[in-house]
Structures are given as C-alpha cells and as structure tokens.
Amino acid sequence: MRSLLPWNQYQELTRWHRDIDDLFRHFFAGGPEGSDQLPGSGSMPAMEVFEREGQYVIRADIPGIDPKEVEVSVLNDALTIKGERKKSHEVKEKESYYSEAAYGRFERRLALPKGIDPEKITARFENGVLEISVPLPQSVSGKKVSIEIGSDQPKQIKAA
C-alpha cells in the first residue's frame, strides 16, 4: 500500500546521501560507526585495566593473533601494545560468504603510573588474552572518595 503523503524529492536525496556516507565510513574505517578503529587499521583489541594485589593489570583480547607477532614496550611512563592480525588467504569458488573479522595492524597505548620499574613488568598470553602485570610503586596508593547526594553546593573532597 502506498503512503498518502506527497513524495518529497529532497527527503529521498538526504536518505541517499546518508547511505553513501555510511558506505564510505564502513569501507574506509573497516568497522561500524563509533567503533574504536582508525582508518587503515585492523580491529583494535578490547582492553581492561584494573588493580590487583599491588599490580596494575592490563588485559587485551587478541584472539587469533600469534603472540610472536605482538610487541609490548614501555617508554616514558607509557605502555604500547602493537600487533597485526593477518588475513588467511582462503578462496571459495562459486560461493559467497560474509565476514565481519577485521585484519590489519593495531596499536594501543596507555599511561602508566609514575615511578614504575619497567624491568619488573611481566606479560603472558593465554587463550587469546594478553595479560600484562605492572608492579605498582609504594608511593602509589588509592583513596576512597565519599559521594554526597542532594547538595546544591560543591564541597571539598576528603580522603578517607
């Protein structure tokens, strides 16, 4: 059934323009809009960072990547993880298939606490997860911050 609204050629052009923009965004970025990918890069590994028993722990999900193809380095209180997801050259004749896997180089960098000893950093790879442990210096200690609710005036934060 057709709509009873009059046809708006400008609305059609706007929709067409948006579709073309989406096509180029997917083609050049290699992923959906808003993803953590840079043009020309492979899939950026998902990461989590937390503190455990005096260690600053960084986990990066890098399934399907040979750990020998991953480089972990520390320079000026920054940790860098570099690698490359290499595409297998599988060809299927008379069939088509769809793949959402991204291939290419990636690089993630994050700041480390001041005063860490790079010589004590360890890394291990298991089941597609790279785990890096950084011993925290004694001078780094967390503090608990209390949250006040319902106050219109900002107040000084007191260490617990």
Cβ contact 121:132 at 8 Å: yes
Cα–Cα distance measured from residue 104 to residue 141, given in angstroms and rounded to the nearest whole number: 38
Cα–Cα distance measured from residue 84 to residue 8, given in angstroms and rounded to the nearest whole number: 47
Cβ contact 122:57 at 8 Å: no
133: confidence class by pLDDT, cuts 50, 70, 90: very high
Which structure tokens are listed for 129? Answer: 């997860």
Q: pLDDT for 86-108, tens place per residue?
A: 776 666 666 666 666 667 888 88
Indicate the CATH number for domain 42-89+98-138. Answer: 2.60.40.790
Rounded to two decimals, the pTM is: 0.57
